[in-house]
Amino acid sequence: MAAALLLWAAPAFAQAASPAEVDQLARDVDRVESVRAIKRLQFALAQDIEAGRWSDAAARFAPVAEASWGDRGLKGRAAIAKDLRARYGTSPSGAARTTHAQILLAPVVTLSPDGRSAKGRWHEVSMLGRTGEDASWAGGIFENEYARAADGGWRIARLVYHPVFRGPYDKGWHDVDADQVPVPFHYDSATVGASAMLGARVPAPAARMGGVALGGRIDRLLDADAVSNLQHAYGYYVDRKMWDDVADLFDADGSYAEGSAPALAGADAIRAALAKEGPLGDGELNDHIQANLLICVAPDGMRARARGLELGMTGRNDGKAYWSLSLFDNSFVKRDGRWRIEAMRILPRMKADYAQGWAKSALVEPVRTADTDRPFACPNAPAGGEGPIDTVRAWQRLSQAAGRDAIEHLTSAFGNYIDDYRWDDLGVLFAADGRREAPGVGFYVGPERITRMQRTRYGDYRGPRTFIPIHTMTQPVVSMAADGPSAKIRTRLLQFNTGLTRDGSMMAGIYENEAVLVDGVWKFRSVEIDHTLQTANYADGWTRIAEGTGQRMIPPATKLLETFPPDSPNEGEIYAPYPARGLMWFHYDNPVSGRAPPLKTPKTAAVVSRRNP
C-alpha cells in the first residue's frame, strides 16, 4: 500500500487486476468510507439534537451503548433518549424558540486494524436556552468509541464527554474545574496523519464488490470532497462580502432562498441582490462559520445534497454585535465536470443581539420545514457488478480521498497539542523541512526548531491549569495536488479562551497551510496563520475594540527574537487587525468560475503593505 500511495501521478492505462488486488482495493475503499461514515454519524447526532429528535438521536447509538456527558453514566438507547430530552428540553415543534445547538469542531477519527471499531475525538461548543427564559454556553471534548453493526452501518458504542467550560449567557463561559486537567488522547503524533488505508491487518472482505462498483464508490468520495470544498468556500466568500465569487458558485439557473422570503432565481439575480449589501468595511465583522456538514452524493455522481449549521458572528465595532444560527439545506449539480450550487435554502433558527443573548433577544422567527426536520438520509447506491479496473489508478484516486481525512486529522491534532503544551508532539507533525509561523516573530524550520520555539516562548505545561486558549480548527478547504502527494489546506481558527476567574474571550483567524506525504503519513510542510479577530473581553464581544488590541494580547516577541531568532520573517498579517479589515489570502481560485482572489498564496512582500480591495 505504501508503494501504491507513492504512485500518485501514475498514468491511467488499462491493466488487468487480479482477484487479490481487487479484494485489497475493496478493503481500502471500505476503510475510507468507514472514516467518513463515523464523521457523518457524529454530525447527524448533532443535527438530531438541534431539531429535538430524541428517538432518532438515540438510534445513533448501539443498543447497549454507554454515554456520559461528564456527570452520571447511562446505558442503552431508552435511557439515552430520556436523558437527551431532559438535558436539552422539549422539541422545537412545541417550543419554537428553543436553542440546543452543538457545533462540532476538530475531528480526529482512528479506525481499528480490523475495521470493526474506531475512536474519535471532537471539540464541541453548545448554545443552549429558550427565548424569554434562559441562555447558556457549554463546551468540551468528546473521546468516543464506535462499533460496526451487523447491517454494516456504524453506531456510537461509548460516548464520553469531558466538560471544559460553561456558564450563563450574561456571565459568559468559565472553566468547569479549578484545575482543567488535559483530556488523554486516543491517538499519537507519529501516526495521526496516516491514511485510513494503512495499517490494516485483516484479510480482504469475504464478499467483495466488483471493479465497476469500487470505481464508482471512489468517485463518490471525491465528489463529496468537491462539494465540501464548495460549501466551505461559499462561507469564506460571504465572510469577506466577495459577492461576485459567491454568485459564481451558483448554477446559471440556481436559486437562493433565506427564511420565508421569495427565492432568488438565477445567478445574475443572486449577484444583484447580494451586491446591495456592499463590500466589507473597516470595523465590520461578517463571519459565517459552516459546521456539522452532512453530504449525500447521488449514485450517478451528477447531483448532491448538503445540510449543515451556519454560526454567524456579525456586527460593527462602533455599533451592535449579533449571534445567529441557521440551518442550510442545499442541492448541487455537476456540469462539465464541475460542481455548482443548484439551490440554497437557509433556514434561520436564531438571531440575537450580542448584548442581550438569545434569552432576551429574538431578531428572527425560526423557520422549519417538513423535509429538513426529518433526519438526513442518502439513498443506497446500486451494488454494480464485476468489471475491469486499473487498480493503480484507483488507488491513486482513493489516496486523494483518504489524504483529505488524514490532513483534517493532522490539522485538528495541531490545535489540540497547542492547547495542552505538547510541544514535542507538535514538532512531530512537521516534515523535516516543515516551517511554522510564530506570530510577531517569524518562521522556524524543522521539527526540532519548531519544538524549541514553542517551549521557549510558552514554557512547558504546569498545573493547576486555570486558563485554556482552545484552538479549534474547522471548515477545511483541501486542494490535493494532481501531480504528487501534497496538498494545500485552508482552515478556520475558532478559538474560545476560557479561564476559571477571568472573562472568556475569542480569537479568530485563517490558516493557509501545506502538507506532504512522508512515508505514508501526512506532515505539515508549512503552517501560516492570519489572525483576524481578538476580543478584549466577553461583555463587549467584537464591539469597542481599540486599535492595536491584537498586537497587545499576544505573547511579547522580544525575548524570542533575542535568544532564539527565526529562520525567516513573518509574512502577511502579524497581529489580529480588527477593527481594521486586514488582508486575506486564498490558496485557490473560485472553484466554479476560476476567478482569482485579490490576494493569492504564496504571499509576497510586494502585496503585504496594501489593503485587500
Q: Could you read off the pLDDT of 60-108 as tens digits, one per residue?
A: 999 999 999 988 889 999 999 999 988 887 544 445 678 999 999 999 9
Nine cell digits for residue 537:
473581553
Sign of CA dihedral 521, 415, 223, 371: positive
pLDDT at position 3 over 70: no
- pLDDT reported for residue 611: 42
Q: Tens digits of per-residue pLDDT, 426-437?
A: 999 999 999 999
* 352: in domain: no
- pLDDT reported for residue 212: 62
Q: Tens digits of per-residue pLDDT, 596-605?
A: 999 999 986 5
Distance from C-alpha of 401 to C-alpha of 70, rounded to nearest angstrom: 35
* 88: in domain: yes
pLDDT at position 144 over 70: yes
Partnered with residue 29 across adjacent β-strands are none
- Between 366 and 203, the more confident residue is 366
Nine cell digits for residue 251:
448554477
- pLDDT reported for residue 206: 43
- pLDDT reported for residue 607: 55
- Averaged over 250-267, what is the pLDDT? 93
Confidence band, pLDDT 50/70/90 cuts, at residue 613: very low
- Between 484 and 508, the more confident residue is 508
pLDDT at position 210 over 70: no
- Averaged over 353-358, what is the pLDDT? 96
Domain-terminating residue out of 176, 202, 228: 202
pLDDT at position 381 over 70: no
Name the amino acid, one letter, at 133. E
Neighbours of 284 (CB within 10 A): 19
Confidence band, pLDDT 50/70/90 cuts, at residue 301: very high
Scanning the structure block, which residue is given the C-alpha cell 483541501? 478
pLDDT at position 296 over 60: yes
Nine cell digits for residue 403:
489524504
pLDDT at position 281 over 70: yes
- pLDDT reported for residue 431: 98
Q: Which domain holds residue 90?
A: 28-202
* 328: in domain: no
Q: How many domains does the chain have?
A: 2
- Averaged over 464-472, what is the pLDDT? 94
- pLDDT reported for residue 605: 52
* 509: in domain: yes
Confidence band, pLDDT 50/70/90 cuts, at residue 185: very high
* CATH code of the domain containing 495: 3.10.450.50
- pLDDT reported for residue 97: 76
Average pLDDT, the chain: 90
Confidence band, pLDDT 50/70/90 cuts, at residue 334: very high
* 471: in domain: yes
- pLDDT reported for residue 368: 85
* 550: in domain: yes
Domain-terminating residue out of 161, 184, 202: 202
Nearest to 158 by CA among 121, 128, 193: 121
* 349: in domain: no
Q: The pTM is what?
A: 0.94
* 15: in domain: no
Distance from C-alpha of 25 to C-alpha of 215, rounded to nearest angstrom: 10
pLDDT at position 123 over 50: yes
Domain-terminating residue out of 147, 168, 202: 202
Q: Are 553 and 535 in contact (CB under 8 A)?
A: no
